[in-house]
Chains A and B, each alone.
Chain A
Amino acid sequence: MHIAEGYLPPLHAAAWTVVAAPFVVHGARAVVRQVRDNPESKLLLGAAGAFTFVLSALKIPSVTGSCSHPTGTGLGAVLFRPPVMALLGTIVLFFQATLLAHGGLTTLGANAFSMAVVGPWVAYGVYRLVRSVGGGLGLGVFFAAALGDLATYCVTSAQLALAFPDATSGVLGSVLKFGSIFAVTQIPLAVSEGLLTVLVVRLLVRVSPAELERLGLLKRPSEPTEVTA
């Protein structure tokens, strides 16, 4: 759910940019370090970013009759970790603004905070939590993608509400208004994205386990030890 260009008042746009900046800078530093130590990872990061962009071009059928697209933050966070996603997500948002006019440059900070920072961190936290209590890969990925998507939608609703508080009930009433108007598409979308992400990961486990091992999603099978007599 991208906040369109010019939608936020200037002060809010600037404030959200300031809020998102430390996370993006942290992600950029992590990436620069990674690239310095291992120059080949630049190409993998490019692939990861392009994959995230193209994921948002998938058209999920929505129960409301329209088509929606997944955010890809959940899958991205689980595959590439949240700090990297903060940078890749922001680059992807910049491309979405300049190539598709989805989102915008003045709202890049607000969108980056919801989609490249909060969404991935929630998704990754949920994934770790589910895995640590014994949940399987599928369950972890489902909740990561669905709750990452929902967290993004909640943060966006709060950002809109802070910018335009309700005349009677203030910010809380406004959160309710924006939340309910976008819930029609976003809640079914979160469930759809969760299901779809599980299917994608299942397929990848079958056809590309080596890549998932390289990304740390699957454990490397232990080396067979030679037994000498």
Chain B
Amino acid sequence: MLPLDVAAYTNRWRARHPGEKAFLSLGLLVLAVALPPWPGAAVCAPVALGLLLGPAGVAGRVVWRAARVPLGFVLVGAAPLLVTVGGTPWPAWNPGGLVPAAELTARAVAALLCLLLFAATTPLAELLPRLQRVGVPAAVIEIASLIYRLLFLLLESLRVVREAQALRLGFRTWRTTYRSLAGQGASVFLRAFDRARRLEQGLASRGYDGQLRVQVVSRPVSRPFVAATAALLVAVTAVVLELRSVL
């Protein structure tokens, strides 16, 4: 399983309504992106991280592992702001780029933590069926749910195939590596379509009428949680605007 998905099923907010968690984390995400990076990001990032590690109870190790790769992209992506091209010398150090690069990094880190707050607390299996309420067509939700269910089976198949190939020295040279990778791609394709065909036959024999009905666990919306979230979002906005006028 994927570490973020495991966290989504094991965190302390597991039993909360996905809408509550979406309101909190996506609300914070909008603030992190829309408010001026300084001091907006400096306020949103610790709030999101604090909620993740504190009330939601997600392990710091999981957060770090999920954040590593996107952080690498952000740092590599911020570097071009520090140089300028087209003048002499070519390229030249751009001292004016230091502040925008720092702001960009801060905003991206804050936004990433807000995304992780959502991803590490909300199981997609509970979120997807509820998306119909916000206007996503039922067919699209059903396809997304099928993708979600199939992808873990396929990832596991891929892992097993990769291990089998490694045990047979399949990654010894570039040539064998490419042959093994092609084998992985093709076997995943075959397994995906084989699964789909078997599902199709299984459903057809059970009177499939074009609708994939799944039971959605009903979760009551907690009014105190929603009220506290609204208060937090207002407080974050107020603090950021106040700090901005002072600093």
Contacts and interface: CB of A to CB of B under 8 A. Distances in A.
Which of B32, B91, B147, B177 has most A Cβ within 10 Å? Answer: B147
Given A13-B33, A98-B118, A101-B112, A177 B140 contact: no
B124 A61 contact: no
A168 interface: yes
B132 to A, nearest CB: 13
B185 A4 contact: no
Contacts of A102: 69-70
B205 to A, nearest CB: 13
Name B's interface SS: helix
Interface string B136-154: 0101101111111111001
Contacts, number: 251
Contacts of A71: none
Report, as a range, how many residues of chain A touch the other chain. Answer: 35 or more
A204 B187 CA distance: 9
B85 interface: yes
A207 interface: yes
A175 B149 CA distance: 39
A54 B94 CA distance: 41
Contacts of B91: 177
A208 B140 contact: no
Report, as a range, how many residues of chain B touch the other chain. Answer: 35 or more
B24 interface: no
A223 to B, nearest CB: 23
Interface string B19-37: 0000000100100111000
Contact of A42 (B26, B118, B146): B146
Contact of A204 (B67, B186, B195, B210): B186
Nearest to B111: A6
Nearest to B4: A99
A10 B31 CA distance: 10
Contacts of A164: 80-81, 100, 104
B76 interface: yes
Contacts of B186: 200, 203-204, 207-208
A166 B86 contact: yes
Contact of B150 (A46, A55, A181): A46
Interface string B178-204: 110111111011101101110110011
Contact of A97 (B104, B115, B190): B115
A101 B192 contact: no
The 5 closest A-B pairs by CB, nearest first: A6-B111, A46-B146, A169-B86, A199-B182, A39-B210
Interface of A: 2-7, 9-10, 13, 28, 31-32, 35-36, 39-40, 42-51, 53-55, 57-61, 75, 87-88, 91-92, 94-95, 97-102, 104-106, 160, 164, 166-169, 173-174, 176-178, 181-182, 195-197, 199-200, 202-204, 207-208, 211
Given A5-B111, A39-B208, 5 more contacts: A4-B73, A7-B111, A51-B189, A55-B188, A204-B190
